[in-house]
A = this chain, B = another copy of it.
Amino acid sequence: MASNSIHPDSRIARLEELFASLPGLGPRSAARLVSELLTARRGEAHEIAAGLETALKLVHHCPRCHTLTTDPVCSFCRDASRDKTRLCVVESVADQKAVEASIAYQGGYFVLMGRINPLEGTEPEALGVPQLLRRVKEEGVSELILATSYTPEGDVTAHLIASTVRKHFPEVRITRLSKGLPSGVELEYADAASIASAVIERR
A interface residue numbers (CB < 8 A to B): 1-9, 11-12, 14-15, 18-19, 21-25, 28-29, 31-39, 41-42, 44-56, 58-59, 67-71, 74-76, 79, 92-94, 96-98, 100-101, 113, 188, 192
Contacts and interface: CB of A to CB of B under 8 A. Distances in A.
B46 A53 contact: yes
Contact of A54 (B6, B11, B32, B54): B11
A89 B57 CA distance: 45
B70 A4 contact: no
16 contacts: A8-B69, A8-B97, A11-B54, A18-B44, A18-B47, A19-B48, A22-B36, A22-B44, A23-B32, A25-B33, A38-B68, A48-B48, A48-B49, A49-B50, A49-B52, A49-B56
A15 B68 contact: no
Contacts of A34: 55
A24 B76 CA distance: 30
A16 to B, nearest CB: 10
B1 A75 contact: yes
A18 B36 CA distance: 13
A76 B8 contact: yes
Contact of A93 (B35, B51, B75, B188): B35
Nearest to A79: B1
A59 B34 CA distance: 11
Given A4-B97, A49-B53, 13 more contacts: A1-B75, A1-B100, A3-B97, A4-B101, A11-B51, A11-B70, A18-B44, A22-B41, A23-B33, A31-B93, A39-B68, A45-B56, A46-B56
Contacts of A51: 11, 14-15, 18
Nearest to A6: B97
Which A-B residue pairs are the 7 nearest by beta carbons? A24-B29, A49-B52, A8-B75, A49-B49, A11-B70, A4-B101, A9-B69
